[in-house]
Amino acid sequence: MNKLLYLLFVLMSVAAVACGDSGQPEGEPTAAPASSPALLSDTPEPASAAEAPSLSTDEVVSETASSEPEPDEVVAEAPARELIEPVRGGVFRRLWSDPPTLDPHLTSDTTSAGIVVEVFSGLVTLNTNLQLVPDLSESWTIDDGMVYTFKLRPNARFHNGKPVTAGDFKWSLERAADPETASPVADTYLNDIVGAMDYIEGNASEISGIKVIDDRTLQITIDAPKAYFLAKLTYPTAYVLDRETVEAGGPSWWVDNPVGTGAFKLAEYLIGERVVLERNDDYYREPAFLDSIVMNLAGGQSMAMYENDEIDTTGVGLFNLDRVLDPTEPLNK
């Protein structure tokens, strides 16, 4: 369970750049070191950033001992922070690394997940407060703590325009659990579903706990009441894929034609050079604010690239902290 919560937290830290109700990832694709107490960014934050503002270039958050003021002591109130209105359009540039895979069902690392969660999606997701919210499903009911019935959004579509159906989800979940797919995490995230382990072990022809009621209604039955089950469905292992795209593309389908359902489409992937994501204007939720995201895969020193206006965000290590805090330095502006 600790592993699950950790992976979910890491996943959210890289999810949903610039969507109207999603958080913007910060820092590099790997976990930030303890010596990186701040983040520099000169790109306007999306609307959701107001819910969890990050450390700006001209302020430092610190913990100090508090005490009650003396009777004659005057306590000055900090000025109210001005909220920045979200700006639509523009390109967000950042440093990234080549992902091991962009197949959601094979994803088990944050570098891959940072791209996968923008291009693909599932039944439910986590918002910036790590709360479960509907994604491709618009609602669900739970009977006896074990039978989950999901109603899909009527406007849910793949990037190629095809509607997303309950049958697509059943096929996708069974594809993730298929021994031939060799998912490294299917047994962790799908094992609560009735019949899933039999299918994963090659002892069944389908997952008996997944049923298609109609095109917009999917029913999933688990083996016992578990409060964390929905949280497991936020992981890419449970994301929906377009069967025709996957079967026609073979093992490299996600390089040549990665048709997803997410807020961004994969417009370009040049190994060792860049990944370009373009906004999906037909997204079933609020479309992203940004026009595109460019991920630099060529490597480099992030602070130098930030100062040269090659990227829009970077972590700040102790070596550069004094410069960031110095009002006479350009980095403090």
Q: How confident is the model at residue 315 (pLDDT cuts 50, 70, 90)?
A: confident
Instruction: Specify burial of residue 306 (Cβ count, 10 A radius: 0-12, 13-18, 19+).
Output: buried
pLDDT over 60 at 324, yes or no: yes
C-alpha span between 152 and 160 (Å, rounded): 18
Q: How confident is the model at residue 55 (pLDDT cuts 50, 70, 90)?
A: very low
| pLDDT, tens digit, 9 for 90 and up, residues 131-154 | 999 999 999 999 999 999 999 999
Q: How confident is the model at residue 331 (pLDDT cuts 50, 70, 90)?
A: confident
C-alpha span between 103 and 236 (Å, rounded): 9
Report the share of the chain in percent with pLDDT over 70.
Answer: 75
| pLDDT, tens digit, 9 for 90 and up, residues 123-133 | 999 998 999 99
C-alpha span between 126 and 21 (Å, rounded): 10
pLDDT of 176: 98
C-beta neighbour count of 282 within 10 angstroms: 13
C-alpha span between 92 and 240 (Å, rounded): 26
Q: How confident is the model at residue 87 (pLDDT cuts 50, 70, 90)?
A: confident
Q: What pTM was computed for the model? A: 0.75
C-alpha span between 236 and 204 (Å, rounded): 23
| pLDDT, tens digit, 9 for 90 and up, residues 219-256 | 999 999 999 999 999 999 999 999 999 999 988 899 87
pLDDT over 60 at 288, yes or no: yes
Contact residues for 166 (Cβ-Cβ < 8 A; gap 6+): 150, 152, 212, 213, 214, 215, 216, 217, 218
